[in-house]
């Protein structure tokens, strides 16, 4: 199975880049499933139903969120009725929406999970224990043929510890939230694909997707009231592409994806017979 995961979509430039590049990525890479983190898609903060529908129309199969999940209140009734939109699983019981979903891919089934870290983040339930409990009900080769986890977290140490703990039990652990693509993509010893952060789909001539002057001013003048807005230059679409083994659900191959904007581009060269 081929799975394309794209990192945090930031503002209009990120949305436009996804709409422009995703159809070509689908044609070139032929992914069976496309998962996109969309928690910054609405002017950098949150997601609206209209934008969610546009991302689905552009080619997303599943959207995930993060710490800005509730910045746009209109998403609350929408998420209740849209199973393809996931918020972090480790929000407390009773939170609107769902943190995981099983999605059909031909004759196969994929479990997609959104979880949020706790270091330097909101004090949510433990993502390690929450995922452990979920995997008691779902297992590779048992109920699903692939498991993808978007861990929305600040600390690289937490993401790495998480990936190693679940190595061999899930197909892909990919980090989001820091908006910078890391160079540590690899397949762990147990067969789980991992990258600390997929990067963002946004304008990199910026401060993690936000306009440079206002962002820099916050550090220099220490005035947090200055309004941040997304940078609006050409965006780079960033993510990872993984191929899993149909028999085991573990990763056979993993490669980064970067298209457009100012970052050095890279596209996976599809493996022969893959």
Domain assignments of the chain as residue spans, ordered by start: 2-203+231-259
CA pair distance 67, 78, nearest whole angstrom: 17
Mean pLDDT is lowest, of 128-137, 139-148, 212-221, 230-239, for 212-221
205: pLDDT confidence band, cut at 50, 70 and 90?
A: very high
CA pair distance 169, 224, nearest whole angstrom: 42
Strand-strand pairing, 100-105 and 251-259:
unpaired
pLDDT for the residue numbered 273:
53
Whether residue 49 is predicted with pLDDT greater than 60 in this model: the reply is yes
- Position with higher pLDDT, 118 vs 215: 118
Mean pLDDT of 169-192: 98
CA pair distance 181, 198, nearest whole angstrom: 5
pLDDT for the residue numbered 67:
97
Residues 6+ apart with CB under 8 A from 52: 38, 41, 63, 75, 78, 82, 85
Mean pLDDT of 17-36: 98
pLDDT for the residue numbered 131:
98
pLDDT for the residue numbered 107:
93
- pLDDT, one tens digit per residue, over 9-18 is 999 999 999 9
CATH 3.40.50.1370 describes domain 2-203+231-259: no
pLDDT for the residue numbered 224:
66
- pLDDT, one tens digit per residue, over 60-116 is 999 999 999 999 999 999 999 999 999 999 999 999 999 999 999 999 999 999 999
Catalytic residues: 68
Give just the sign of the alpha carbon dihedral 235, 61, 59, 229: negative
Mean pLDDT of 221-232: 81
Decide: 32 and 63 in contact? Cβ < 8 Å: no
Say how many residues make up the chain.
274
pLDDT for the residue numbered 42:
98
């Amino acid at each position: 199975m081929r799975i394309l995961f794209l990192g945090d979509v930031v503002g209009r430039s990120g949305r436009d880049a996804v709409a422009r590049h995703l159809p070509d990525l689908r044609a070139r890479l032929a992914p069976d499933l496309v998962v996109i983190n969309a928690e910054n898609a609405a002017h950098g903060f949150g997601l609206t139903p209209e934008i969610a529908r546009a991302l689905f129309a552009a080619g997303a199969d599943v959207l995930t969120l993060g710490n800005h999940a509730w910045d746009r209140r209109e998403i609350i009734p929408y998420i209740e009725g849209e199973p393809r939109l996931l918020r972090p699983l480790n929000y407390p019981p009773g939170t609107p929406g769902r943190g995981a979903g099983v999605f059909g891919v031909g004759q196969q089934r994929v479990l997609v999970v959104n979880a949020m870290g706790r270091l330097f983040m909101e004090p949510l339930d433990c993502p390690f224990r929450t995922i452990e409990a979920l995997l008691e009900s779902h297992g590779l080769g048992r109920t699903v043929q692939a498991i993808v986890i978007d861990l929305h977290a600040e600390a690289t140490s937490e993401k790495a510890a998480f990936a190693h703990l679940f190595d061999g039990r899930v197909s892909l652990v990919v980090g989001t939230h820091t908006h910078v693509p890391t160079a540590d993509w690899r397949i762990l010893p147990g067969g789980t694909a991992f990258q600390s952060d997929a990067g963002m789909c946004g304008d990199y001539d910026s401060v993690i997707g936000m306009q440079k002057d206002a962002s820099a001013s916050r550090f220099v003048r220490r005035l947090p009231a200055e309004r941040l807005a997304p940078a609006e230059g050409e965006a780079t679409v960033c993510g990872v592409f993984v191929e899993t083994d149909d028999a085991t659900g573990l990763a056979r191959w993993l490669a980064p994806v970067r298209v457009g904007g100012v970052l050095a581009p890279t596209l996976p060269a599809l493996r022969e017979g893959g």
